[in-house]
Structure 1
Amino acid sequence: MKARTMRRHLRESLKSLARNGWMTFASASAVTVTLILVGVFFVIMMNLNKVATDLEEQVEIRVHIDVAANEQDQKILGEKIEKISEVKSVVFSPKDKELNNLIESFGEEGEAYKLFEQDNPLNDVFVVKTTKPSDTMMVAKKIEKMEYAAKVKYGQGKIEKLFSFIKNSRNVGIVLIVGLLFTAMFLISNTIKITIVARRREIEIMRLVGATNAFIRWPFFLEGLWLGIIGAILPIILVTFSYYYLYDFLAPKLKGNFIEILAFNPFVYQISGLLLLMGALIGIWGSMMSVRKFLKV
């Protein structure tokens, strides 16, 4: 396409936005409202996903070694666990360390457990992590069958519920976001259809003098792009400032915990770029669907 023709299309698309002020406002508002909702859902879902990932990384299998096992037996058990393909790491934790961890976890009340330092009743432990947290249950069952694995703990019952909740939350979030996007596309498509109907005579004249479908489509294509970009500006501003204050409020309170929210930078720039891209794509798609149908004159 020649540069002069492209300049003409750009000029016509901008003129159309100005001529159809209320239609432009309605279309951009449809995108704005939808992208605000999408932006909020994205912020919530991506932070929930971060929290879920952090929780998944905390999942581990604790293999209590039989007290009858000597050093060689422990070594053999450790090697067998390491050979399981789904296992990421195996760390040996002696019973003295286990007792110290127990004392520290109870704080002042843990002082009473220091009485057991001379005659430690705890077991040596292998702390096992899997490559995929979802493989935890399967790996635990394999280890339970091994010799000298006296007890295998991994939060049985709670872990299954956690993974189920995480999976369902992600699926629900995806469905909601996709539904909102299609709603925005439908609204923009119908708004641009009204614009095309109002200019149908103009399109017919252009067709009669030999204008191609591509030549007629381009201004509408660009018009949809501008509508999507304009509609994305306010959601980007709102999401940026809202997340700034949210992060400033929550980050200090969560500091020191194993749960953290996504850092303001670069997350807010990523979400802004995503909203701008989505706005542009929504506008383009809605315009293309409308023009495709109404150019059949």
Structure 2
Amino acid sequence: MGLKQLPPIQQSETLTRARYLARETQLGLWRGGWLNGAAVLTVAVLLFLFGFGFNIASQIDTAFQQLGSRLEITAYLEPDQAPESIQTQLQQLPNTAQVILVSKDQAWQELLKDLGASDITTAAENQGLMQNPLVDEFKIIATRGEDVPELAKAVQTIPGISSVQYLDKALVSLQTLSQSAQRLGGILVIALAVTAVAVIATVMQLLAVVRQPEIEIMELVGATPRWIYLPFLVQGAGLGMLGGLLAWGGISLTEQALLQWLGQQGDLLKLLGQLLASSVLGGAGLLLILLLLGAVVGLIGSSFIFLRGVRRTLS
């Protein structure tokens, strides 16, 4: 069965109402002038901080998980300790992704190669290292970055392990950075959300004052409050979506500059930049979120004049 078409009269009424909304919204945008610009910029700043903070916080959290899984826990065995039994116990620990045995002979060869000589025997003689002083060791990789400290403590309790090492400072720094970014971003977003709603509400109220004679005439001829004040809602949503579009452009440019800067830094920051680049929220997805949030902020701001006009008309 085909779609049921509207009668010609209903189609005409729908087109008339759509044209009315478009005309009144365009008129409101034109009369708003610089006030519309102030509202758009306020919403753009709000959504820029929200979107950028949300994106960076999620990227840092993802990067923390990925970087944490790359931070190896090194467990050194006691001298003459057989590694086979220790390896079995390590593999049975919770949150263990991988356990790699590095024998003392392998570590000894790598150490002598690092001394800069191609002949291992000659390098050992030059450095006075005729005997292997190293011990067997394990490289343990955790499933998640946040599991590294607890896993390191569990590894330390296994009999036969003399010491455990890992980059705890790097993990603490990443955790602190993620928490600080989330808290600061939350405070700024709340403050700017209130400001954006207030600015849009002020713009709508001023436009209502300017158009008061027209509104009174429309009331006298029998126009309903919904159709009198509905263009204000559409205009508020439009201003919010325009602010979201500007915020998306600013976020894209800022993130590209940030990733480029991180790529020129040291190894750790360069690695962090690579992880952030791989976890960036897709452009279309972020744009859709910002447009929806902008429309919501605009609707909330313009709803005050809409509700006030409806109450005044009905009273």
Instruction: Name the TM tier (shorter chain).
Output: 0.7 to 0.9
Distance 1:266 1:137 in 2: 29
Deviations 1:62-94 (A, max 9, x none): 222223322xxx333223222233223322222
CA contact (8 A) 1:17 1:24 kept: yes
CA contact (8 A) 2:109 2:120 kept: no
- CA-based RMSD of the aligned residues comes to 4.0
The one of 168, 184, 188 equivalent to 2:180 is: 168
User: Where does structure 1 lack aligned partners over 5 or more consecutive residues?
Assistant: none
Q: Which moved more, 1:43-52 or 1:20-29?
A: 43-52
Q: Which moved more, 1:278-287 or 1:192-201?
A: 192-201
- Which residue pairs with 1:86 in the alignment? 95
The one of 280, 286, 289 equivalent to 2:295 is: 280
Change (3 A) 1:242 1:153: closer
Change (3 A) 1:100 1:211: farther
The one of 190, 200, 204 equivalent to 1:188 is: 200
CA contact (8 A) 1:193 1:291 kept: no
Distance 2:164 2:41 in 1: 57
- Identity among equivalent positions (%) equals 25
Question: One-letter code of the match for 1:26?
Answer: A
Q: Helix, strand or coil for the counterpart of 2:273? A: coil
The one of 61, 72, 76 equivalent to 1:60 is: 72
Question: One-letter code of the match for 2:84?
Answer: K
Distance 1:65 1:237 in 2: 54
Question: One-letter code of the match for 1:78?
Answer: Q
The one of 204, 207, 231 equivalent to 1:219 is: 231
Q: Which moved more, 1:253-262 or 1:87-96?
A: 253-262
Question: One-letter code of the match for 1:259?
Answer: L
Distance 1:175 1:101 in 2: 51
Question: One-letter code of the match for 2:86?
Answer: L
Deviation at 1:252, TM superposition (A): 5.8
Q: Helix, strand or coil for the counterpart of 2:300? A: helix
TM value normalised by structure 1: 0.75
Q: Helix, strand or coil for the counterpart of 1:296? A: helix
TM value normalised by structure 2: 0.71
Question: One-letter code of the match for 1:3?
Answer: T
Change (3 A) 1:295 1:43: same
Deviation at 1:227, TM superposition (A): 0.9
Is 1:259 equivalent to 2:272 in the alignment? Answer: yes
> Which residues in structure 2 correspond to 1:142-153 (within 5 Å)?
142-153=154-165
Distance 2:195 2:107 in 1: 55
Equivalent pairs, count: 293
Is 1:9 equivalent to 2:8 in the alignment? Answer: no
Q: Helix, strand or coil for the counterpart of 2:178? A: helix
Deviation at 1:145, TM superposition (A): 1.8
Distance 1:208 1:243 in 2: 54
CA contact (8 A) 1:243 1:268 kept: no
Question: One-letter code of the match for 1:82?
Answer: Q
